Amino acid sequence: MVTSNRSRVVIVGTGSVGSAVASAIVQQGLCNELVIVGHHPNKAQGLAMDLADGLEFLGRFVTIRAGNWEDCRHADVVVVAAGPKPKPGETRMQELGAAIDIVDPILRRVRDSGFDGILIMVSNPVDVLSWFAWKRTGLPRAQVFGSGAALDTARLKTIIGETTRLDPRLVSGYVIGEHGDSQFVPWSTVSFIGKSFAQYLADNHSRYPGVTLAGIEESTRRRGLDIKGLRGGTSYGIAATVAGLVRTILWNERSVVSVSTLIDGEYEYGEHDVFLSLPVALDGGGVGDFVDLHLSGEELVKFHVSAEVVRRHCSLIADRL
C-alpha cells in the first residue's frame, strides 16, 4: 500500500494576492491539496473551481477546494493574504489600523483550529502583523514568519538583471530590515558573477552610465509603489515569492531567504522582540539558522532604524493581545 504524502496548503484571502498565490502554487504543483478560505465563501468556491479547470494541462495534479477554518488543523502551511485593499499613495504602515481588524479574527480562528504547521504572513504591514501573529497564535518562533523582504530581494535582483541585461538569478544578496520605507541593501553582501556587485559596477561604469548603488536601492524600495501607481496593486511578484517560500518548506530545500522573522539577540544585530527580515535557512521545520552578515556600523544603524519603526507600530496594537 502506497503511503501518500498529503501535503496541504491553506490560503486565507481570495483577493488579488490570495488568488495569485493560489495560482502560482497550483501551476507549480507544490502541494497535494490546496484549500482556499475566504471572507466570501462564494469567491473561495469560484476561485477553487476556476483554478481546478486548468488541471488537465498542468504538470502535477493538485486537489483544489474551498474550505473552512477547520481545514487549518491538518495544514502544513497556512498563508494569510487577507487585508484592506492597499490605496495608491498609502504606505504599508498606514494600512495597520484597517488590517489588524481583519487579520486578528483570522489569526484567532487559525489558532483555535489547532493548527501546528508553518504560518506565512503576507498581509501588510507584514513585519508588524507577523509579530502579532506569533504572539496571537502562540506558535514557536520557527513556525511564524512574514514574506518580508523576500519580495524586495527578488525586486533587487530583477532591477540588477534589467540594468545589466543579464539573468537576475546571477545575483546573490539580500534586502533586509523592514518591508517598507526603511528597508536597505547591505551592499557588502551582494555579489554578481564572481565578484561584489559594487566592484562589477565600478569595473563596467562606462557601460551603465548614471547607474549607482543608491539608485538601484531606491528603485527597489519604490518598486511596489510604482507598480501600484501603474496597475492599482501588486500580485504576481508576491505570488511567485510566496510560492517559492512554500516550495522551500514543503520540499525541505534549506534555501536561504530574507524573510521577516523574530530577532532575539542573534549575532551583532542587537535587537529583541521584533520581526524584521534577515537571511535565514528555511526548511520543513520553518525558520532555521541565521546568517551572520557582519554588517558595517552604518548598516547596523539602518537596521536599528527599521527595528524602531516596526516596534513603534507594534506598540500601537499591543493592547489587543
Pick from 48, 81, 160, 307: which binds ligand NAD (CB under 6 A)?
Answer: 81
Angle, CA of 234, 240 and 246, to the nearest 5°: 125
The residue of the chain with the least Cβ separation from ligand NAD equals 15
Pick from 10, 37, 82, 133: which binds ligand NAD (CB under 6 A)?
Answer: 82
Interacting residues with ligand NAD between 37 and 76 (CB under 6 A): 38-40
Note whether 83 binds ligand NAD by CB under 6 A: yes
Reference 105, options 235, 35, 12; nearest CA is 12
Distances in Å between the alpha carbon of 252 and those of 246, 260, 264? 10, 19, 24
The annotation status of 281 as a binding-site residue, yes or no, is: no
Strand partners, 65: 35
Amino acid symbol at 199: Q
Question: Could you give the count of Cα atoms lying within 13 Å of 291 in the half-sphere of its Cβ?
Answer: 18
The annotation status of 198 as a binding-site residue, yes or no, is: no
Note whether 178 binds ligand NAD by CB under 6 A: no
Residue 143 φ then ψ, to 5°: -95, 0
Interacting residues with ligand NAD between 112 and 151 (CB under 6 A): 122-124, 126, 147, 151
Pick from 7, 8, 9, 13: which binds ligand NAD (CB under 6 A)?
Answer: 13
Q: Annotated catalytic, 304?
A: no
Pick from 95, 127, 178, 283: which binds ligand NAD (CB under 6 A)?
Answer: 95
Cα distance between residue 173 and residue 168, in whole Å: 11
The annotation status of 186 as a binding-site residue, yes or no, is: no
In the block, residue with C-alpha cell 524586495 = 152
| Residue (31 or 259) nearer to ligand NAD, CB | 259
Q: Tell me whether residue 266 is exposed, middle or buried, using C-beta atoms within 10 angstroms of its C-beta: 0 to 12, 13 to 18, 19 or more.
A: middle
Choosing from 179, 205, 272, 304, the catalytic residue is: 179
Interacting residues with ligand NAD between 248 and 307 (CB under 6 A): none
In the block, residue with C-alpha cell 504538470 = 59
Amino acid symbol at 76: D
Is residue 180 within 8 A of residue 149, CB to CB? The reply is no
Pick from 113, 183, 189, 234: which binds ligand NAD (CB under 6 A)?
Answer: 234
Positions in the binding site for ligand NAD (CB under 6 A): 13-18, 38-40, 81-83, 85-86, 95, 99, 102, 122-124, 126, 147, 151, 179, 233-234, 238
Q: Which parts are annotated binding residues for NAD(+)? A: 17, 43, 122-124, 147
